[in-house]
Amino acid sequence: MNGRRAGTVLLAAVGVGFAGCADETTDGSSSGSSEQAGSPIPVITGAALFEDTFDDDRNGWGIGDDPEFGSTDFHGGDYVWSLTGSMSHWLPEVLGAQYDSGELNMMDVVVRAEVTIVEGQGVAGVFCRENPDTDAEWQWYEFVAREGFAAIRLADAEGNIETLDETDQVDVPSGEPVTLEASCIDRADGVAQLSLSLDGSAVLSTTHDDQLGNGVSGLQAYTFPAHEQLDVRWHEFTVHHAEQ
């Protein structure tokens, strides 16, 4: 399942479907460098650029049901995904509209989500800086995790994934909520500083020399093996400006 915009028509509210069956163990030659020790801690500045506690669909994430790819809906204060497609990449209509109009600046941000992987072996997480790509409609940085696995990756809408950093030393128990916090910040030397923490503990930190520009943040998940059932409940989502 994939929630995307078509031209300037916005995102997840319409249709489900996805091209590409990437799995979360895919590696690529990396232009990033791991630097977990001594990496700068991002500092959140100002009020939230965007926040959602998923009481309803007021921000236009989208509700859908497709027998081939799965469903999304709101239940009990959560945004609930029941997925059988290979990948789900969603952002709210309100952010898509601001980006398309040129109002939105999400270059240097901390993206936070609280999520429970209820069932399945896939990964869930967040993304930042969704940009047009040369060989796909969109590309982005994604920060994903499951029990025993977490990664920072450069991915695109054709299912291509370049792993920038990863670890198998994480505790994300199925059925229990976890808070992912990802930072995407350009340093003074012109590289993107990317980091991931889980429940307040630093997990990964890396850089990307050919950094992506301004773009929208949102929610991300992959089934594993591809098309196996993955049930996820999102409890909250926020985006803040940040700096190193």
**Which tens digits make up the pLDDT trace of 74-106?**
999 999 999 999 999 999 999 989 888 988 889
Q: What are the C-alpha distances in Å from 40 to residues 67, 87, 97, 194, 222?
A: 45, 31, 32, 10, 29
Burial of 45 from C-beta contacts in 10 A (0-12 / 13-18 / 19+): exposed
pLDDT reported for residue 104: 85
H runs (alpha helix) in the chain: 93-101
Mean pLDDT of all residues in 23-30? 38
124/32: higher pLDDT: 124
pTM over 0.75? The answer is yes
Q: How many CA atoms lie within 13 A of 157 on its CB side?
A: 18
- Alpha-carbon distance of 150 to 144, in angstroms, equals 6
Domains in the chain, please, with CATH? 32-243 (2.60.120.560)
Confidence of residue 190 (pLDDT cuts 50, 70, 90): confident
